[in-house]
Amino acid sequence: MSNTVAWAAVACLLTAATGAAAPPREAPPKAQKQAEAPADDKAALKELKDEVSRTSGSITVGGRVLGYQAEAGLLVVHVKDPLDEEPPPPADKGPPPQPTLAAMSYAAYFLGASAEPQRPITFVFNGGPGSSTIWLHMGAFGPKRVAIVDGEHGPAAPYRIIDNANTLLPETDLVFIDAPGTGFGHVRGADKDKAFFSVDGDARAFANFISEFLSRHGRWNSPKYLFGESYGTTRAATLALVLQQEKGLDLNGVMLLSQILSFDNSVDRVDANPGVDQAYALALPTYAATAWYHKKLPSMPAALEPFLAEVEQFALGDYMTALLAGDRLAPEARAAVVARLHAYTGLAADYIDRADLRITGGVFEQHVLGAETTAGRLDARFTGPTIDPLAKEADYDPQMAAIASPFVAAFNDYARRELKYGEGLQYKYMTHLIEVWDYRHQPPGAGAPLPQATNVMPDLALAMKQNPNLKVQMHGGYYDIATPYFEAVFELHHLQVPASIARNIEIRLYPSGHMVYANEAAGAALARNAAAFIRRTHGAAAGN
């Protein structure tokens, strides 16, 4: 799997209380009915419509039984209000045009047995683009999770599904949303690619889903949160502003895991963008953390965090200065930087010099552990056999190879056995939408999408300015090469918002990778921090 496809997959890659959902205005047909349709009824199978399966469950967390109501199914969203569309032509004029719409699959959990309309509700999604939300659902915050082996490739099935002590259900109801074209969902219409497979089209689809979900469940007056991972953080920044400006919906908080807001900061393909050098500097602390973890440093520091503070200072100081100097860098200054990079990464000084001080993520993954072993891109703690020792960059991601099967198998079993949804359907845990994705984005104030690398920092900044009570919590893993933690820190310190607004941002870092929750201790800390964030921000006076 190439780095690009791996990033697209994830890049990427929750005593009983009240909180059950109010029933929809019209109860959609049961999911099982689709499977009962005649096999030759192609038209019926292709029709996109709302579907829902409702179940109840309970888990035991810390000796406490949590009862909950669950929903799983499809919710159809349109590009615009279908009641504003022109009626279809008469039958004798030919078949009506296919409307452009998406049936987005989801799983929702509501604590308790009765509705609590003002309980917090959090909309959760992974990224890609082209990834479902199976990872956050079954790995981080759902009431059940799949047990995986941390840091290595575990045995094949059967896999264990266990009660999730880290679920956020005690603090918030949860809605796990699969992006258009992923999960159990489908898209229709002649303009479906343009409508849904772009930065802005995707954000509007999620905005339409969220507003419709709130209406159907009577939750407009609930404290509302977004939790996005990887490209889901790009989506969350755009979505927060779309919800404010187009839906009149202020959020209480946005939580970002493994953040990327400005794609010029990605270290994946930065060598194809010469002259934009800061990505190398922002990735350096993650390279250093990886070499430290695998004991590849010439001189091993005793503790990680003080070491990373030193590397961060060098990255934005002498290293950035050297990169910006280009071929004007004096030989003695170059030699000094090469020596420091060797000390911080474990890579050979000669190799660093020949690479012109610039090491991409794929190159580092391929070479940091020697010729026979590749480090993980999503989580550099994971390792695997090198496919081609002579290749410049790594050919696959060991963490994705290790965890895809447990997550996919566990979810497919869980969805059908416990959520009672998915019979006769295929769950697309990841797709190749990256191949058709339109990364052009129209930031606030621009008259059209800009022909440049995606950058949604202006969206998040404006959302925070227009809603000065909006709180943001960023989570990152030290061993994440896909979206290096220091890149996220850099972006959040460059939003160009007043100091009073910047105080609404908090940063939490963990000794884990892109999927922080893959490490059990880090996953527990992530859940504690997210839960505390919701508790601090959901009250009526939280922003005062």
Contacts of 295 by beta carbon, 8 Å cutoff, 6+ apart:
none
| 289 close to 513: Cβ distance less than 8 angstroms | no
Instruction: Determine the pLDDT at residue 190.
Output: 81
- Residue 541 predicted with pLDDT over 70: no
Do strands 173-177 and 121-125 pair parallel, antiparallel, or not at all (unpaired)? Answer: parallel
* pLDDT bracket for residue 96 (50, 70, 90): low
pLDDT tens track for 448-505: 999 999 999 999 999 999 999 999 999 999 999 999 999 999 999 999 999 999 999 9
Provide the β-strand partners of residue 455.
262
| Better pLDDT: 71 or 273 | 71
Instruction: Determine the pLDDT at residue 396.
Output: 81
How far apart are the C-alpha atoms of 523 and 234, rounded to whole Å?
22
**Least trusted range by pLDDT, from 7-11, 112-116, 244-248:** 7-11
Residue 287 corresponds to which amino acid?
A: Y
Residues 278-307 have a mean pLDDT of 97
- Residue 8 predicted with pLDDT over 60: no
Instruction: Determine the pLDDT at residue 390.
Output: 82
Instruction: Give the position of tokens 């790995």.
Output: 139
Tokens representing residue 75 in the block: 């919710």
Q: Which long-range contacts (CB under 8 A, 24 or more apart) does 448-454 make?
A: 449/199, 449/200, 453/262, 453/263, 453/264, 453/273, 454/199, 454/234, 454/262, 454/263
**Least trusted range by pLDDT, from 63-72, 83-92, 263-272:** 83-92
Tokens representing residue 291 in the block: 């070499």
* pLDDT bracket for residue 97 (50, 70, 90): low
| H/E run at residue 353 | helix 349-354
Residue 243, CA atoms < 13 Å, CB-side half-sphere: 29
Domains of the chain plus CATH, in order, are 15-264+408-537 (3.40.50.1820), 270-399 (no CATH)
* pLDDT bracket for residue 539 (50, 70, 90): confident
First-to-last C-alpha distance (Å) of the chain: 49
DSSP-based three-state secondary structure for 507: strand
Helix, strand, coil fractions of the chain, as percent rounded to 5: 40, 20, 45
* pLDDT bracket for residue 359 (50, 70, 90): very high
pLDDT tens track for 149-188: 877 787 887 889 999 999 999 999 999 999 999 999 999 9
H helices of 77-150, in order, are 134-136
| Better pLDDT: 430 or 178 | 178
Instruction: Determine the pLDDT at residue 397.
Output: 85
pLDDT tens track for 180-231: 999 999 999 888 888 999 999 999 999 999 999 999 999 999 999 999 999 9
Instruction: Determine the pLDDT at residue 88.
Output: 67
Q: What is the model's pTM?
A: 0.89
Q: What percent of the chain has pLDDT over 70?
A: 88
Burial class (CB in 10 A: 0-12, 13-18, 19+), 91: exposed
What is the Cα gyration radius of the chain?
A: 24
Instruction: Determine the pLDDT at residue 26.
Output: 36
Instruction: Determine the pLDDT at residue 93.
Output: 67
Contacts of 182 by beta carbon, 8 Å cutoff, 6+ apart:
105, 128, 130, 131, 132, 428, 429, 430, 431, 433
Instruction: Determine the pLDDT at residue 76.
Output: 96
- Other beta carbons within 10 angstroms of residue 282's beta carbon come to 25
Q: What average pLDDT is seen over the chain?
A: 89
Q: Which of 18-32, 67-81, 339-353 has the highest mean pLDDT?
A: 339-353
Do strands 101-111 and 64-78 pair parallel, antiparallel, or not at all (unpaired)? Answer: antiparallel
- Residue 517 predicted with pLDDT over 70: yes
How far apart are the C-alpha atoms of 68 and 458, rounded to whole Å?
38
Instruction: Determine the pLDDT at residue 14.
Output: 30
Residue 50 Ramachandran class (φ > 0 left, ψ -120 to 50 alpha, else beta): beta
Instruction: Give the position of tokens 């061993």.
Output: 479
Instruction: Determine the pLDDT at residue 225.
Output: 98
**DSSP letter (8 states) at residue 506:** E
Tokens representing residue 112 in the block: 């308790």
Q: Which long-range contacts (CB under 8 A, 24 or more apart) does 298-306 make?
A: 298/342, 298/343, 298/346, 299/343, 304/478, 304/511
DSSP codes, 143-176: SEEE---TTS----SPPPEEE-TT-STTT-EEEE
* pLDDT bracket for residue 81 (50, 70, 90): confident
- Other beta carbons within 10 angstroms of residue 11's beta carbon come to 32
Q: Which of 80-84, 100-104, 166-170 has the highest mean pLDDT?
A: 166-170
* pLDDT bracket for residue 29 (50, 70, 90): very low
Burial class (CB in 10 A: 0-12, 13-18, 19+), 460: buried
Tokens representing residue 460 in the block: 């998040």
How far apart are the C-alpha atoms of 60 and 226, rounded to whole Å?
26
DSSP-based three-state secondary structure for 226: strand
Q: What angle do CA 359, 365, 370 make, to 5 degrees?
A: 105
Q: What angle do CA 383, 386, 388 make, to 5 degrees?
A: 160
